Chain A
Amino acid sequence: MMPFNYSRPRDVSEAINLADATTRFIAGGTNLVDLMKENVVRPGRLIDITGLGLDEVEELPGGGLRIGALASNADLAWHPLIESRYPLLSQAILAGASPQLRNMATTGGNLLQRTRCYYFYDTGSPCNKREPGSGCPARSGLNRIHAILGASDTCVATHPSDMCVALAALDAVVHVEGKAGKRRIEFADFHRLPADAPERDNQLADDELVTSIELPPPQFIAHHCYLKIRDRASYAFALVSVAAALELDGDTIRQARLALGGVAHKPWRDKAVEAALVGQPVSRETFSAAADLLLRDAQPLTHNAFKVRLAHRAIVRALSDAAIGGNA
């Protein structure tokens, strides 16, 4: 690890005023410390935000919930309000990492995880995300875990989070604060596709701090499913994951949400697919057609063509399980 300076601000404005392109905020540190050990990230200063509070889960007047950015993944997954009103989120969090890491990792930090692309981590390799303009060895190299949707010539990395897939499906809103003030970012807009700037994972400015995540009033309590497919039964990143949520009127779909992890540079949502599900009967044919539509533009690489079929099957199974009210 390269030497760095360390600050422990007492409030949000002090933290923001310390922040610039050479600094990083740290809370759980589960990804950042690892990236620093590998010299992938070399901040001049760490700004320790663990003394800022920001760990409350509060009910909002309209029926929604505000989750402090420093609430740990474990506390959030097992929070009574999350388990009872947003069980999809609880399931997704518990599908990720290990109990030790969930005790450390925070809600805000989970959003800011970097990809686990091998070439991003290997400082001996070029990588457009790590060193813009240096190239992407994953395109022609080992790309079994990489993206099948929304990738670019410069980057085929995937976003690693499970929690974010559920937050995308639930239409969460990210609250941030920077030197220019506060703003709210719809979850679908928070993370970026790589395009020609894969070094930028999200829309945050260097001095912007995630302060909370807002959830809209609960829906889909009866019909949801988080399905995660991985190389071993626990403690592994998703090859493909699916957050599915339905509102049903008898056997007719009134509303549908579908978000995928492990397939793109951000949690993948396709509003056209969700719209196409509305008014359709609950059936294997309906769900298979939705999967066809969602994967219509999939572009597999040398080693990850299996993800297209896997994603198709996972979508059908997750929607089916959601319809019968279970969770895989």
Chain B
Amino acid sequence: MSPSSSTGVELHCIAFTLNGDSRTLNIPPWVTLLDLLRDELDLTGTKKGCDHGQCGACTVLRDGKRINACLTLAVMCDGANLTTVEGLATGDELHPMQRAFIKHDAFQCGYCTPGQICSAVGLAGEGRANNREEIKELMSGNLCRCGAYTNIIAAVEEGLPQSRGELDQGGAQS
């Protein structure tokens, strides 16, 4: 259950599904999901902003629900189904929410964008945001320091119905 590495650190064996692929890893318990994704698995689409759960740049989907990867211990993701921004598209076909962000030019520097998109896909699964005010409130966990909010809200508003359609068809890997 807890194999030891040559350094004497207690490692834990975990298995999860990541963007549709099964992964099995031996990790120390203090590695966050964010650091695991970026540093060990080379999935750098998920961004480290504040690293304290305040900005949302690290948002990913766990079993279809949006979470902050920076405050998630990877060891606690054993058995989970994880989706990062790299797993939203189907081959070369972008996810409807990704297309909506491009159409509305919903970014400036782009650093918060993967988190914004994953958060919006999670929002689609919640089925709650039915108007612009509700979208604003329910996207408040994702900050954009460029201030591209106007276009982000427009993109989410357009992307939500199509993303919900995708979920209904089981198309998203969340």
The residues of A with any CB-CB pair to B shorter than 8 Å are: 1-6, 8, 26, 29-30, 33-34, 36-37, 46, 48, 50, 74, 78, 97-101, 103-104, 233-235
Chain A min CB distance to B87 (Å): 17
Q: What residue of chain A has the Cβ atom nearest to residue B31's Cβ?
A: A1
In addition to A3-B9, A26-B73, A98-B53, 6 A-B residue pairs with Cβ atoms within 8 Å of each other are A8-B78, A26-B76, A48-B75, A99-B123, A103-B65, A233-B140
Chain A contacts of B128 at CB under 8 A? 78
Chain B contacts of A50 at CB under 8 A? 76
Q: What residue of chain B has the Cβ atom nearest to residue A6's Cβ?
A: B29
A100/B59 in contact, CB under 8 A: yes
CA distance A103 to B80 in the complex (A): 14
CA distance A33 to B64 in the complex (A): 22
B1-39 interface (Cβ within 8 A of A) = 9-10, 12, 28-30, 32
B141/A235 in contact, CB under 8 A: yes
In the complex, 8 of the A-B residue pairs with CB atoms within 8 angstroms, ordered by the A residue number, are A1-B30, A2-B30, A3-B30, A33-B73, A34-B52, A99-B139, A100-B122, A103-B67
B71 within 8 Å of A by Cβ? yes
CA distance A101 to B140 in the complex (A): 11
Chain A contacts of B9 at CB under 8 A? 3
Q: Quick one: given A34-B53, A99-B123, A99-B126, are A6 and B140 in contact (CB under 8 Å)?
A: no
Number of interface residues, chain B, beta carbon within 8 A: 34
B51/A37 in contact, CB under 8 A: yes
CA distance A5 to B75 in the complex (A): 11
3 closest A-B pairs by CB: A98-B141, A6-B29, A234-B140
Interface flags for B66-90 (1: CB within 8 Å of A; 0: not) read 1110011101101000000000000
B137 within 8 Å of A by Cβ? yes
Chain A contacts of B114 at CB under 8 A? none
Q: What residue of chain B has the Cβ atom nearest to residue A5's Cβ?
A: B10
Q: Quick one: given A6-B12, A29-B73, are A101 and B141 in contact (CB under 8 Å)?
A: yes
B140/A103 in contact, CB under 8 A: no
B29/A29 in contact, CB under 8 A: no
CA distance A316 to B69 in the complex (A): 40
**Chief secondary structure at chain B's binding surface:** mixed
Chain A contacts of B136 at CB under 8 A? 234
The residues of B with any CB-CB pair to A shorter than 8 Å are: 9-10, 12, 28-30, 32, 51-53, 56, 59, 65-68, 71-73, 75-76, 78, 119, 122-123, 126, 128, 136-142
Q: Among the listed B32, B53, B140, which residue makes an inter-chain contact with A30, where contact means beta carbons less than 8 Å apart?
A: B53
B126/A29 in contact, CB under 8 A: no
Chain A min CB distance to B78 (Å): 8
Chain A contacts of B72 at CB under 8 A? 29, 33, 104
Chain B contacts of A235 at CB under 8 A? 140-141
Chain B min CB distance to A91 (Å): 12
Chain A contacts of B66 at CB under 8 A? 99-100, 103
CA distance A220 to B32 in the complex (A): 42
A4/B140 in contact, CB under 8 A: no
Chain A contacts of B138 at CB under 8 A? 99
Q: Among the listed A2, A30, A233, which residue makes an inter-chain contact with B71, where contact means beta carbons less than 8 Å apart?
A: A30
A33/B71 in contact, CB under 8 A: yes
CA distance A321 to B2 in the complex (A): 56
A99/B122 in contact, CB under 8 A: yes
Chain A contacts of B29 at CB under 8 A? 4-6, 46
CA distance A26 to B32 in the complex (A): 14
Chain B min CB distance to A228 (Å): 12
A37/B76 in contact, CB under 8 A: no
Chain A min CB distance to B8 (Å): 10
Chain B min CB distance to A46 (Å): 7
B68/A100 in contact, CB under 8 A: yes
CA distance A321 to B122 in the complex (A): 33
CA distance A50 to B140 in the complex (A): 27
Chain A min CB distance to B9 (Å): 7
Q: Quick one: given A6-B10, A29-B76, A104-B71, are A99 and B119 in contact (CB under 8 Å)?
A: yes
Chain A min CB distance to B67 (Å): 5
Q: What residue of chain A has the Cβ atom nearest to residue B139's Cβ?
A: A99
Q: Quick one: given A6-B29, A103-B65, A104-B67, are A48 and B53 in contact (CB under 8 Å)?
A: no
Chain A min CB distance to B19 (Å): 19
Chain A contacts of B75 at CB under 8 A? 6, 48
